[in-house]
Amino acid sequence: MPKPQTTVQTIQQTRVSYAVGVVMYVAGVTAVLVGLVAAAVSLPAFPAGVPEEEAVVSVVATSTTNALGLTWTAPGDDGATGRAASYDIRYSTAPITETHFASATSVPNRPSPLPAGQTQSLTVAGLQPGTTYYFALKTADEVPNWSAISNIASASTETVACEPSWSCTAWSACASGLETRTCVDNAVCGTDVGRPVGQRTCSAPPAAETCTPDWSCTVWSPCQGEVEVRTCVDRNNCGTDDEKPAEEALCGEGGPGPNEDLLVSVPRQRSPAHIRIFDRELNLRDEFFAFSTRERTGGNIALGDVDGDGELEVVVGSGYGSSPLFRVFSVNGEREASVRPWSSRNRFGLRVAAGDLDGDGVDEIIVSPERGASSTLQVYGFDAARGQYERMATDQLFSSRYREGVNVALDDFDRDGRDELVVVRARKIGPTVFLYTYDTMRKEFRRTKAFNAFSSHDTQGLSVATGDVDNDGDVEIVVAREKGTQPVVRVFDANGKREYQFAAASSRFRGGVTVAALDTDLDGQDEIVTAVASSGPAGVLAFSLQDDGRTFVRVDNVTAYGSGVRYGLRLATP
């Protein structure tokens, strides 16, 4: 590696002051280092001409369908000695030049430089299958002064020959302490990659002479011919119909399953995290405070059976301006757990969501910073043996430069027993909707779809929810802008095709809309529920698709909080 060289250039021989700089070769990348000084010299003309060498960034043979490996030689901080301060490593699907380096995608979790001459490596994940990627790097000293661009390395990820599409039967009755199900790959790929679990533990049946039935029933079906039905199974498999609940009822008399009729709200900001729980007819059922009433940073909420007890829990994330913390409560407000995913020194709050990512019948908790930090997702699952929530995975979906937060919804679009992830960025960037599946083997999210919900020039951020709003048996994606524009709600299918659109308030209103979906009238069709997202009265409105299949009309409303809450609400449904 060439030694540092000092270059002084002049076009005259008078005594003047010049800037003298050390030129360093960083694994072949030229970098002008700190230490520029004023020097009084009298020198003859001394032309430039220090040659540049190419930095070698190698792509190593660790390619998969969504990852590639890089290696390079660590530079020095002073020529070929010392240690540089930091790296900037970027990639693109088009060749990278010095001009376009800044617009390429920045690689997260970059390593710190090692002492000069040592070999370093990094795996870049989250890539698309069968795609060629180009990589380049720059280095910096402690000022920082940045080097020129390295050479450009390129390689291709592996092509996915076959993508499994798993579908599973319902869980069997409990027998010998186990429940089982059969999962089939509809794509017939001949692989077990991503196969959902086929068995789980359950309460073993008591002895025959003392067997007591433990009935578990599905939610009542939509009304058909003035009748609604459900299926009830004895989890203890006692072989008797004693005390078996009714499986058929006149419409409206059966009612929903336990805790399936809930809508939860919380102020978004400038108020304590006052949780209110409404039944499906928007009647107030319960309320409690998730954090100290002295904390007026609002909160974020999700609903799901996150501990596998067959009942819904309320997951509450702290609001922006508070340390990142989530708590789990029963629907009656009893605190069950408190978890801090990041250091309490941070004040970026926490967004939360819940859904069954791995198909085991228990919802996982997904958390990410509300804003002010990179959009890293952490996944938590309940460890029944320990009685606590354990981190299962960590993944970063967007560039670390984006620090405005994401809104997340989960639903099973392909009916394989596992929920997919719907992600939108919450502030100051275009209105793209992203769909991801969760890779249970690699414990990471893989992007499968992206589409724009509004004009690509719109940068207001989005709210998102999922539900079957037209009773066609398929899950739809409901999207609205959170502030600054007309309160338009749009509905898309899972492929990004727009199906419906309506205004949730007057076109003069600019407070933004947050959305949820809930069957408020037991007809099997979800209504779209909206609330003010950023500024305005704390009202909650429900809209239903009419028989013409085109028009949404308001069918219910409730004032969720008093006049003191005027800075937006968060909503959640199961």
End-to-end Cα spacing for the chain: 61
Q: Which pLDDT score, from 0 to 100, does residue 366 have? A: 97
How many other CB atoms sit within 10 Å of the CB of residue 480?
Answer: 25
In angstroms, the CA 186 to CA 167 distance is 7
In the chain, the percentage of residues whose pLDDT exceeds 70 is 83
pLDDT at 28 over 70: no
pLDDT tens digits, residue range 377-401?
999 999 988 899 999 999 999 888 8
In angstroms, the CA 370 to CA 366 distance is 12
Residue 497, both tokens: 């095709």
More confident residue, 139 or 26: 139
In angstroms, the CA 105 to CA 399 distance is 7
In angstroms, the CA 65 to CA 62 distance is 10
DSSP conformation letters of 36-86 = -EEEEE--------PPP-----EEES---SSEEEEEEE---SBTTBS--SE
With bands split at pLDDT 50, 70 and 90, how would you rate the model's confidence at 252?
A: low
More confident residue, 49 or 191: 191
More confident residue, 382 or 1: 382
- In degrees rounded to 5, what are phi and psi of residue 323? -65, 145
Which of the residue ranges 38-47, 71-80, 281-290, 403-412 would you say has the lowest mean pLDDT? 38-47
Mean pLDDT of 340-355: 94
pLDDT at 266 over 60: yes
CA-based nearest residue to 257, from 219, 203, 294? 219
Q: Which pLDDT score, from 0 to 100, does residue 160 have? A: 66
Q: Look at the chain and count its residues.
A: 574
12, HSE (Cβ side, Cα atoms, 13 Å): 5
Average pLDDT over the chain reads 81
Judge contact between 156 and 66, C-beta under 8 A. Answer: no
Contacts 24+ apart (CB under 8 A), 105-113: 105/399, 106/399, 106/400, 106/401, 108/374, 108/396, 108/399, 108/400, 109/396, 110/86, 111/87, 112/86, 112/87, 113/74, 113/75, 113/83, 113/84, 113/85, 113/86, 113/87, 113/139
Judge contact between 417 and 167, C-beta under 8 A. Answer: yes
Distances, alpha carbon 272 to alpha carbons 336, 349, 534, in Å = 20, 13, 16
- In degrees rounded to 5, what are phi and psi of residue 443? 55, 55
With bands split at pLDDT 50, 70 and 90, how would you rate the model's confidence at 162?
A: confident
Q: Enumerate the β-bridge partners of residue 501.
A: 490
Q: Decide: helix, strand or coil at residue 210.
A: helix
Mean pLDDT of 524-549: 90
Distances, alpha carbon 243 to alpha carbons 30, 176, 215, 232, in Å = 81, 23, 8, 11
Q: Is the dihedral of CA 165, 410, 373, 96 positive or negative?
A: positive
With bands split at pLDDT 50, 70 and 90, how would you rate the model's confidence at 513?
A: very high
pLDDT at 17 over 60: no
572 alpha-carbon distance from chain centroid: 16
Q: Which pLDDT score, from 0 to 100, does residue 90 have? A: 92
pLDDT tens digits, residue range 407-438?
999 999 988 889 999 999 988 777 899 999 99
Q: Which pLDDT score, from 0 to 100, does residue 572 have? A: 94
In angstroms, the CA 407 to CA 552 distance is 24
With bands split at pLDDT 50, 70 and 90, how would you rate the model's confidence at 345?
A: very high
Mean pLDDT of 249-254: 63
Q: Which pLDDT score, from 0 to 100, does residue 84 have? A: 84
More confident residue, 240 or 10: 240
pLDDT at 7 over 80: no
The CA-based angle 48-52-58, given to 5 degrees, is: 170
Burial class (CB in 10 A: 0-12, 13-18, 19+), 369: buried
Q: Which pLDDT score, from 0 to 100, does residue 484 have? A: 74
Mean pLDDT of 54-59: 61
Q: Which pLDDT score, from 0 to 100, does residue 255 have? A: 44
pLDDT at 9 over 50: no
Mean pLDDT of 202-212: 60
More confident residue, 354 or 360: 354
In angstroms, the CA 88 to CA 471 distance is 50
In angstroms, the CA 298 to CA 57 distance is 47
- In degrees rounded to 5, what are phi and psi of residue 91? -140, 160
The residue assigned the tokens 């599973």 is 168
H helix or E strand, kind and range, residue 215 = strand 215-217
